[in-house]
Structures are given as C-alpha cells and as structure tokens.
Structure 1
Amino acid sequence: MLFWVHAAVAYLVYRGISGGPTDRCDDVPIFALFGGALLPDLVDKPLAFVLPSLPSRSVAHSVFTAALVVLIVFYVTKHRDRWGVGAAYALGYGSHLAADLVDYLFVPEETLLFLFWPVVTDYHHVETVGDLLALLSPTPYVLGQTVVTILGLWLWMADGMPGYPSTHRQ
C-alpha cells in the first residue's frame, strides 16, 4: 500500500470506531494515530535502501516488533494517564499492518510472510527506488487507494482537521 494511504486508512478506522468527530481539544491522540500508521514505512523503506539485504517490509512490519512497540507505548501512556493516546497509536500501527495485507489480494507477488520477519526472510519486496515508483502506475488498485486517500482527507477536513495546529483552523 502506498505510504500516505496508511494515514487515510487509520483516520477512517479511528473515525469509524469513535462514531463521530474527534475531540478537537486534544490533538495528541491524532498525532499518535498518524505516528503509528506511518512508522512502519518510515523505518523499513529507508532501511531497505541503506541495507539492501533487508526487505522493504521487515523490522517495523513484523508482528514481533509491533507487539513490543505497542506494549511499550501502552505502558508509558498508562503511567501518564493517557490511555487514549496509546490506544490511538496501537490502532494506527495495527491499521498499517492490516492495510498492507490488502496488497496480498491485489498484487500477485505479494505475500503475508513479511509479518513474521525475522523468522521468515525470503519473500518479495521492493528493492529499488524504481520498484517503488512503479507502484504508482494507474492500476485499479492504485486508483482505489487514491479514492481511500481522498475520502480520508475529506473526512479529516470535515472534522476540523484534528491534529493540525488550532491556530490555522477557522
């Protein structure tokens, strides 16, 4: 799944679970949501280009890493009495992994094995910047991701752009 689509998916899931616009007085859960949704790609994509032996979905896309990171975030946020922030982060991270599983349904060479890195390391992955740019070709799957992105962005804007500095809101 394309990088920015993860933020849209996370917001759509968050909004669907919350059942209404988010609390505009507290933007921290939205920052946590987007942080969790974007972290796996912010870690793994650059790592794969610097260390070509690593797949583009490895360390941060692993369920083992996800479980450890989410437990740490829950521990910290619970002790700071910010349970909602930890839950938003976990939702963002989980939605990222779930959204990447959708690739398996539409991209023939994709697999679910990336979830089990480093136990399983032999699977298809993006190896070059050219491979990454090839993912932008206008296939029905990419067009579907574009619709999801537009829907997520529209809903976020309709909700008053939570997470965006309040001095810029009208």
Structure 2
Amino acid sequence: MLFWVHAAVAYLVYRGISGGSTDRSDDAPIIALFGGALLPDIVDKPLAFVLPSLPSRSVAHSVFTAALVVLIVLYVTKHRDQWEVGAAYALGYGSHLAADLIDYLFVPEETLLFLFWPVVTDYHHVETIGDLLALVRPTPYVVGQTIVTLLAVALWFGAGKPDTFTE
C-alpha cells in the first residue's frame, strides 16, 4: 500500500470507531494515530535502501516489533493518564499492518510472511527506489487507494481539521 494511504486508512477506521466524531480540543490522539500508521514505512523503507539485505517490510512491519512497541506506548500513555493517545497509536499501527495485508489480494507476488520477520525472511520485497516508484501507476488498485485517501482528507477537513491551519 502506498505510504500516505496508511494515514487515510487509519483516520477512516478511527472515525468509524469513534462514531464519526472527533474531539477538536485535543489533537494528540490524531497525531498519535498518524504516527502509528506511518511508523512502519518510516522505519523500514529507508532501512531497506541503506541495508539492501533487509526486506522493505521487515523490522517495523513484524508482529513481534508491533506488539512490543504498542505495549510500551500503551504502558507509558496509561501512566501519564493519556490512554486515548496510546489507543489511537495502537489503532494506527494495527491499521498499517492490516492495510498492508490488502496488497496480498491485489499484487500477485506479495505475501503475508512479512508479518513474521525475522523468523521468516525469504519473501518478495521492494529492492530499489525504482521498484517503489513503479508501484505508483494508474492501476485499479492505485486508483482505489487514491479514492480512499481523498475520502479521508474530505472527512478530515469536514471535521474542522487541521485546526492549526485555520487559526
């Protein structure tokens, strides 16, 4: 899935769970949601280009890393009385991994095995920046991701976001 679509998917899931309402007085949960949704690609894509032996979905896309990171975030945010922030982060991270599973349905060479890195390391992955850019072409899958992104952006602005741009 394209990088920015993870933020859109996370926001749509968040809005669906929250019943369409967002608390405009506190942006911390939304920032945490986006952080969790984007972290796996922020870590793994550059890491794979620097260390070509690593798949582009490895360290941060692993369920083992996800569980550890989410547990730490939940522990810290609970003790700081910011449970909503931790829950939003966990939702963002989880939605990223779930959204990447959709690739398995649309991209023939994709696999679900990336979830089990480093136990399983032999699977298809993007090896070069050219491979990554080749994914952005007007296929029905990319058009669908674009529609999801536009829907999330429309809902986000419809909810009065981002407040910081309007003040």
Q: Is TM more than 0.5 here?
A: yes
Report matched runs for 1:87-126 at 5 Å.
Answer: 87-126=87-126
- Report the Cα distance in structure 2 between the residues aligned to 1:129 and 1:46, rounded to whole angstroms: 10
- Report the Cα distance in structure 2 between the residues aligned to 1:15 and 1:101, rounded to whole angstroms: 21
Aligned to 1:18: 18
- Report the Cα distance in structure 1 between the residues aligned to 2:130 and 2:48, rounded to whole angstroms: 13
3-state DSSP of counterpart to 2:60: helix
Which letter does structure 1 place at the counterpart of 2:22? T
- Report the Cα distance in structure 1 between the residues aligned to 2:92 and 2:146, rounded to whole angstroms: 19
| Residues 47-92 of structure 1: CA deviation (Å, up to 9, x unaligned) | 0000000000000000000000000000000000000000000000
User: 1:167 deviation in Å?
Assistant: 4.3
Aligned to 2:53: 53
Which letter does structure 2 place at the counterpart of 1:122? D
TM, length-normalised to structure 1: 0.96
- Report the Cα distance in structure 2 between the residues aligned to 1:168 and 1:3, rounded to whole angstroms: 23
User: 1:20 deviation in Å?
Assistant: 2.2
Aligned to 1:168: 165
Aligned to 1:63: 63
3-state DSSP of counterpart to 1:36: helix
- Report the Cα distance in structure 1 between the residues aligned to 2:81 and 2:127, rounded to whole angstroms: 42
Aligned to 1:41: 41
Aligned to 2:80: 80
Indicate how the Cα distance of structure 1 residues 33 and 167 shifts in structure 2: closer, same or farther if over 3 A, else same: closer
TM, length-normalised to structure 2: 0.98
| Residues 5-64 of structure 1: CA deviation (Å, up to 9, x unaligned) | 000000000000000221000000000000000000000000000000000000000000
How many pairs were matched up?
167
3-state DSSP of counterpart to 1:48: helix
Indicate how the Cα distance of structure 1 residues 167 and 50 shifts in structure 2: closer, same or farther if over 3 A, else same: closer
Gaps of 5+ in 1: none
Which letter does structure 1 place at the counterpart of 2:71? L
Gaps of 5+ in 2: none
User: 1:110 deviation in Å?
Assistant: 0.1
3-state DSSP of counterpart to 1:59: coil
Counting aligned pairs with the same residue, the percent is 84
User: 1:153 deviation in Å?
Assistant: 0.6
3-state DSSP of counterpart to 1:35: helix
Which letter does structure 1 place at the counterpart of 2:132? L
- Report the Cα distance in structure 2 between the residues aligned to 1:121 and 1:81, rounded to whole angstroms: 38
User: 1:137 deviation in Å?
Assistant: 1.1
